Amino acid sequence: MQIVEFAAGTLRFLDHLPGQPPQNGFVWIFLEREHLEHELPVLQRAATHIGGSPLLDLHVKDLGNRAHPSQYDYTSVYDLVIFRRLATEAEVNVELGNRAPPRDGLLSTFSRIRTRAVGFAAFDRLLITVHPQGCHAAHSFVERYLKDALQSEGLSAAARSRLPTSAADLMLRMLNVMVDSYLELRKELSNELDRWQQALLAPTRHADSDWAALMTARNALHTLQDLCEEQNDAMQEWLDAQREQPPPWMSQAERDSLLARARDVVEHIHRVTHHVNRMEQSAETAVQIHFSAVGNRTNDIMRTLTALTAIFLPLNLIVGFFGMNFEFMPAIHHQSGFWWTVAAMAGIAAGTGLLFWRKRYLTRTR
């Protein structure tokens, strides 16, 4: 568990809880979900003395639930936000183990999309965050502030301007980083989808094995879409609550900055949702084009077979004519009748083939 105190443009990393909330600042308590049950007495004491109210048992269960969807809830004292972030490469490898698909496999990035729940309990002067083990989101902020933190000398003026001004401000900054990870995933997903489309539309490609990967990709896109809707609903509810009941101690400038940052998070979520919808439409279009191409190739094959059948049809007629069991037939007893018949059949076949070639009934399909 890490305890960070932000006060008067400075910050300190503490070994124990402060006796009272800092003036013009707040306290950030960060811990991993695996240690939540063990550290719960410390959290409840901090919530009571610094935040002004203990955490409800229901909210404690929500914070400890690793499968909890994105959600917003509130009390008269604090706000609870559950937000699902994108799992890192190491977390995906640990979760999938031997079932992890190869990185160079078809649509492998889609099958490796996993999420983790991060919980936030935001008081006026206290922020409690519960992360999965080894969470990069929390550690990146700790390392960022640790570089500028000086236990006794404070911070420079440039570093002070980058510090969060409230618990809600820090929460929104972390949420923004989590949403940005989805935005960074867009290029990789788009490139893989483009490669799959090109492979699917190749005329010599046998796409029988591609459909399982396609279904996995579609399920991943549906999961992302549902996830974005949950995230958007949670942030919109939090934003509406801040507009209707702003903190009385917060100045108008701080409130405007906080609302602007919240709207920025919502806008990023909308961008991810728009991109997911566009990729779904692109996948559907590629499937339709694939079946159209398969149907077109089938039509070309049937056209060629029909043309060949039409070429041999008069030859079969000639053979059937001379195969009738009549004693007196023209050229049947002539010495060169057979060769004249063969030459006539070859000429008819060549002429019919030339006619079909000129009408493009016999063409090479590219």
Tell me: do 265 and 303 sit in the same domain.
no
364, part of any domain: no
Would the pLDDT of 203 be above 70?
no
366, part of any domain: no
Tell me: do 258 and 341 sit in the same domain.
no
Would the pLDDT of 127 be above 90?
yes
pLDDT in tens, 165-185: 889 989 999 998 889 888 888
How is residue 90 written in tokens? 């190491």
Give mean pLDDT, residues 136-155. Answer: 62
**Is 139 within 8 Å of 85 (Cβ atoms)?**
no
Tell me: do 252 and 127 sit in the same domain.
yes
146, part of any domain: yes
Q: What is the CATH number of the domain that holds 351?
A: 1.20.58.340
Tell me: do 284 and 331 sit in the same domain.
no
Please indicate whether residue 350 or residue 149 has the higher confidence score (pLDDT). 350
Tell me: do 255 and 308 sit in the same domain.
no
> By three-state DSSP, how is residue 29 classified?
strand
Tell me: do 169 and 228 sit in the same domain.
yes
Task: Indicate the burial class of 4 (C-beta count within 10 angstroms; 0-12, 13-18, 19 or more).
Answer: buried
Last residue in a domain, options 263, 293, 323: 293
pLDDT in tens, 251-307: 888 888 888 989 999 999 999 889 888 888 887 887 787 778 778 878 888 888 888
How far apart (Å, rounded) are the C-alpha atoms in residues 5 and 126? 9
Give mean pLDDT, residues 88-110. Answer: 74
**Is 8 within 8 Å of 24 (Cβ atoms)?**
yes
Residue 215 belongs to domain spanning:
2-293
pLDDT in tens, 3-16: 888 876 677 888 88
Tell me: do 175 and 198 sit in the same domain.
yes
pLDDT value of residue 45: 92
**Structural domain tally of the chain?**
2
